[in-house]
Amino acid sequence: MKPPAPESTPESTPESTRLPTACRLAVLGSPIAHSKSPQLHLAAYEALGLDWEYTRADVAPGELSDFVLGLDESWRGLSLTMPLKEEVLSLIDSADVQSVLTGAANTVLFGRSGDALSVQGFNTDVGGIVDALAGTGISRSSEVLILGAGATARSSVVAAAELGAEHVTIAARSPQRAEQITAVAKNAGVAVSVVWLADVLGAEVDAPVTISTLPGGALTAADIAGFAPTPGAALLDVAYAPWPSPLATVWQARGGVAVSGLWMLAHQALAQVRIFVNGDPQLRLPDEHTVFAAMTRAIRLTV
């Protein structure tokens, strides 16, 4: 799949954007060595002509507050992976709608007034999912199947709502523990059913869109032996290493269209770059198509 950079948001101009003096950024999580965020962000800042620093740091649960409080004025913001997307909510002063709906933020933007630090939270995963599917020509779907029930699944539910879904099915290993994701669906205005993951993987899928939020290596060949899509149905698999994943391989072999989670990663990172440069995930970057092309090349995707 070759999704283009989003075209629906206004582009920033020198008059509308004053670049911040703070220029240090990082992605946090545990483990974090595998993260491709540094490649994506550094490629974007190079394309923009910005000499900004973007690194990674291993931050375990319970350590985020001390890390943030230890940062100086050179820091502009942070990207967050699990298990920090929920923990960060206790540290932020304001949050976007997607963060509130999902109960998870993957981006924070710092502001300072004198010695006072303000922290804004954003969830760019929702938009990343929507834009990755848009690359397959899918801008609407009345029904979405979601594999998994964690933080990324909650973002997938909100993304499904943005696609106009009337109903989502959540396939969980433990349906009895799916209260949080069903609450997210209700708040997003989407009807929801929760079923056993094993039952879904053993049958034909009739939903036009499936989003797998399961981690890489979570499924064996035996798990998905009976899994079959409706011909032409789309699968977005957030697990991208290795690619194609076992799930994507089976899906494609049986007539479906599989989209790598790298597209979601690239699109959500583009929104993060907008936040760090412009302070707004909807405000386009100068020559954004070129910036996005540089980002995708950095992780060996081709626009």
Q: Domain ranges in the chain?
A: 24-123+263-298, 126-261
pLDDT at residue 301 is higher than 60: yes
Q: What percentage of the chain carries pLDDT values higher than 70?
A: 93
Indicate the helix (H) or strand (E) that contains 30. Answer: none
pLDDT tens figures, 219-268 = 888 899 889 898 999 999 998 888 899 999 999 999 999 999 999 999 99
Cβ(178)–Cβ(172) below 8 Å: yes
Beta bridge partners of 143: 167
Which residue type occupies 285?
A: L
The pLDDT of 58-65, averaged and rounded, is 97
* pTM of the predicted protein model: 0.91
Cβ(164)–Cβ(142) below 8 Å: yes
DSSP 54-65: EEEEE--TT-HH
pLDDT tens figures, 117-158 = 899 999 999 999 999 999 989 999 999 999 999 999 999 999
> pLDDT band at 303, cuts 50/70/90?
low
Superfamily for the 126-261 domain: NAD(P)-binding Rossmann-like Domain (3.40.50.720)
Strands (E), 178-285: 191-196, 204-205, 209-212, 228-229, 234-237, 257-260
Cβ(158)–Cβ(98) below 8 Å: yes
Question: Rounded distance, CA 17 to CA 221, Å?
Answer: 50
> pLDDT band at 25, cuts 50/70/90?
very high
Q: Which of 75, 82, 76 is nearest to 59 (CA)?
A: 82
pLDDT for the residue numbered 12: 55
Quick check: do 24-123+263-298 and 126-261 share a fold?
yes
Mean pLDDT value across the chain: 92
Superfamily for the 24-123+263-298 domain: Leucine Dehydrogenase, chain A, domain 1 (3.40.50.10860)
Residues forming the active site? 85
